[in-house]
Amino acid sequence: MKRRSFLRVGAAAGAGVLAACSSRPIPRPGVGVLVVGGGVAGCAVGYFLALQGLEVTLAERHGVAGYASGHAAGQLSPLAVPEPVRPLAAASFGLHLALWDHLRTTSGVDFEARRSAMIRLALDRADLPALERALAATRRDQARLAHALDLGPGHGLDVVPMSGDEVRALEPRISDEVVAALRTDGNAVIDSRGFTTALLRSAQRAGLVARRGEVGALVTSGRRVTEVDLGGARVRCEALVIATGPWAGALGRRLDLLVPIEPIKGELLHLDLAVDHDVGTGVGNDRRGGRDADLRTGNEDGAGPAVDWSGPDSSLYARGGRILVGHTWERRGFDLVPRADTRDLLLAHARRLMPAVATAQVLGHTACLRPVPRDGRPLIGRAPGWDNVYLAAGGGKKGILLSLAMGRAVTELIAHGRTELPIAACAPDRFARTYQVPSP
Ligand SMILES: Cc1cc2nc3c(=O)[nH]c(=O)nc-3n(C[C@H](O)[C@H](O)[C@H](O)COP(=O)(O)OP(=O)(O)OC[C@H]3O[C@@H](n4cnc5c(N)ncnc54)[C@H](O)[C@@H]3O)c2cc1C
């Protein structure tokens, strides 16, 4: 594979992980790596491959960030991630913090990256024991995270119990029902569509070629994929990366691979709290206006961390002047249609946290599919039985957070045959079934 100049990217957090790449040359000539899927996973793989100087083409059948990657809440919290994936989540969080500047500069895309706080609300005294347990668990998680990222003092990680009154002093529109809360500092948020686009643009600047088309039939020789059908045309490839999210099983089946990733539907509402609707006429009437109409950031100059709110049944995310209300978790196959009954349920739950939602204007309603692996761990690495096929799929409900570690790990495996990122628990061969090498 052709190799361009090796770019070293590093910054305080995650610099150790970033510097881990060696510059051993890639021995084999060829037409390059074909990454299938223009979601955040595929774009992250493409980004790192292009920065490594490898020849890379990304194939997307519809539009980049057209599915879950363009419609996620954009939370990057590495906390409350189950143990086998926790070290990878911490590493990926470090990569996010380290790479934001590089991505913004090289892509020209502002993906609204900010540090953030999450305030978890208890609506009655019955919720308090759960809040206590969350306090202890979050303290443990944050200590681990600070250690994993080698963060010194003043790293901004904190968890603080709050009374209902303290919560309402911060955001007066929070319901009087709220009796207590837990504020977790040190998280981060991004606009997931902007972020995915930034990865692609930055990769294109480094040489990635993006092609529109569906990858269907795969031509194999021994343990290698040699050609693919891309939108009706045959394309030769040196290596293939399957990054097709909830559709990864379909390409896997063509290679007799078991890829047990299930689509889990999630719906989000986009609300404008600034417009008070005159119920009955439906005519918008801007009574509040300005920053005061947005959810409070916890910092009146707007430069501080964003604040997201979560309750027992719903969450409120302040994003770009809008409030996102989410999110649901449903098994409905590949159904991508937003449902009216889900919208009503989301609004009812959100109203309990913030009664002002009752008069908000619903600007948008999206439904998307999280790629959720059977055991909750993404599939990252070389596909069992194949020498040049890799998987970067199954980010589940943390796919935006995990994307950079997934992209980096797969790139290092392709370029160097090894990675120092902690992906052992994510090896695709844990699902390997009896495998027959196909006849040439
Ligand atoms: C409501 C909701 C909220 C979320 N919030 C968060 C959050 O706050 N934080 C977080 O970290 N994660 C969040 N997630 C999860 C996250 O969005 C996903 O894990 C992530 O976007 C998955 O990215 P992906 O690239 O694997 O898949 P996708 O985004 O689904 O992309 C896969 C792409 O592959 C393409 N494709 C499929 N088959 C082919 C083929 N044969 N040929 C060519 N192209 C093909 C598709 O067209 C698609 O564009 C949320 C998800 C939902 C639904």
Which residue puts its alpha carbon closest to atom 27 of ligand 1? Answer: 245
Q: How far is the CA of 41 from the centre of ligand 1 (A)?
A: 7
- Answer whether 371's CB lies under 8 Å from 37's CB: no
Any bridge partners for residue 296, and if so which? Answer: none
Nearest CA to ligand 1 atom 22: 399
* Residue 148: per-residue pLDDT: 83
Task: Please tell me the predicted confidence (pLDDT) of residue 318.
Answer: 84
Residue 29: predicted pLDDT:
36
Whether 156 has a pLDDT exceeding 80, the answer reads no
Give residue 255 CA to ligand 1 midpoint distance, Å.
22
**pLDDT tens by residue, 33-47:** 999 999 999 999 999
**What is residue 312's predicted lDDT score, i.e. its pLDDT?**
86
pTM given for the model:
0.88
**Ligand 1 centre distance from Cα of residue 246 (Å):** 7
CA of 216 relative to ligand 1 center, distance in Å: 19
Q: Which atom of ligand 1 is nearest to the CA of 74?
A: 8
Ligand 1 center from residue 10 Cα (angstroms): 27
pLDDT at 17 over 60: no
Task: Among 244, 389, 390, 402, name the best residue to mutate to test ligand 1's pocket (greatest count of ligand atoms within 8 A of Cβ).
Answer: 244
Q: How far is the CA of 407 from the centre of ligand 1 (A)?
A: 14
Does the pLDDT at position 210 exceed 80?
A: yes
The closest-lying atom of ligand 1 relative to the alpha carbon of residue 230 is 42
| Least trusted range by pLDDT, from 95-104, 162-171, 302-311 | 302-311
CB 408 within 8 A of CB 422: no
Between 312 and 154, whose confidence is greater?
312
Query: Ligand 1 center to residue 68 CA distance, Å?
Result: 4
Is residue 386's pLDDT more than 70? Answer: yes
Per-residue confidence band for 27, with pLDDT thresholds at 50, 70 and 90: very low
The per-residue pLDDT for 75 is 94
Of 209-213, 291-295, 431-435, least confident by mean pLDDT is: 291-295
Q: Which residues lie with the beta carbon below 6 Å from any ligand 1 atom?
A: 36-42, 59-62, 66-69, 72-75, 214-215, 243-247, 251, 266, 268, 326-327, 368, 370-371, 393, 395-401
Residues 49-62: pLDDT tens digits?
999 999 999 999 99
Q: Report the pLDDT value the prediction gives residue 387, as an integer from 0 to 100.
A: 97
pLDDT at 437 over 60: no
Which residues are CB-contacts of 44 (< 8 A; sequence separation ≥ 6)? 199, 392, 403, 404, 406, 407, 408
CA of 309 to the centre of ligand 1 (A): 23
- Which of 370, 379, 389 is the best mutation target for the ligand 1 pocket, counting ligand atoms within 8 Å of the beta carbon and taking the most? 370
| Domains of the chain listed by start with CATH number | 15-71+194-260+375-431 (3.50.50.60), 115-185+264-373 (3.30.9.10)
Q: Which of 35, 57, 58, 60 to mutate to test the pocket of ligand 1 (most atoms within 8 A of CB)?
A: 60
Residue 369, pLDDT > 60, answer yes
Site to probe by mutation for ligand 1, drawn from 36, 45, 58, 67 as the one with most ligand atoms within 8 Å of Cβ, is 67
Secondary structure in 3-state letters for the chain: CCECCCCCCCCCCCHHHHCCCCCCCCCCCCCCEEEECCCHHHHHHHHHHHHCCECEEEEECCCCCCCHHHCCCCECCCCCCCHHHHHHHHHHHHHHHHHHHHHHHHHCCCCCCEEEEEEEEECCHHHHHHHHHHHHHHHHHHHHHHHHCCCCCCCCCEEEEEEHHHHHHHCCCCCCCCCEEEEEEEEEECCHHHHHHHHHHHHHHCCCEEEECCEEEEEEECCEEEEEEECCEEEECCEEEECCHHHHHHHHHHCCCCCCEEEEEEEEEEEECCCEEECCCCEEECCCCCHHHCCCCCCCCCCCCEEEEECCCCEEEEECCEEEEECCCECCCCCCCCCHHHHHHHHHHHHHHCHHHHHCEEEEEEEEEEEEECCCCCEEEECCCCCCEEEEECCHHHHHHHHHHHHHHHHHHHHHCCCCCCCHHHCHHHHCCCCCCCCC
Ligand 1 mean position, distance from CA 222 (Å): 31
Q: What is the predicted pLDDT for the residue at 327? A: 79
What confidence score (pLDDT) does residue 381 get? 98
- Collect all residues with Cβ–Cβ distance below 8 Å to 417 and sequence separation of at least 6: none
Nearest Cα residue to 3 out of 25, 30, 33: 25
Average pLDDT value over all residues in the chain: 86
- Tell how far the Cα of 176 is from the centroid of ligand 1, in angstroms: 37
pLDDT tens digits, one per residue of 342-353: 999 999 999 999
Q: Closest Cα to atom 33, ligand 1: which residue?
A: 37
- The residue with greater pLDDT, 239 or 27, is 239
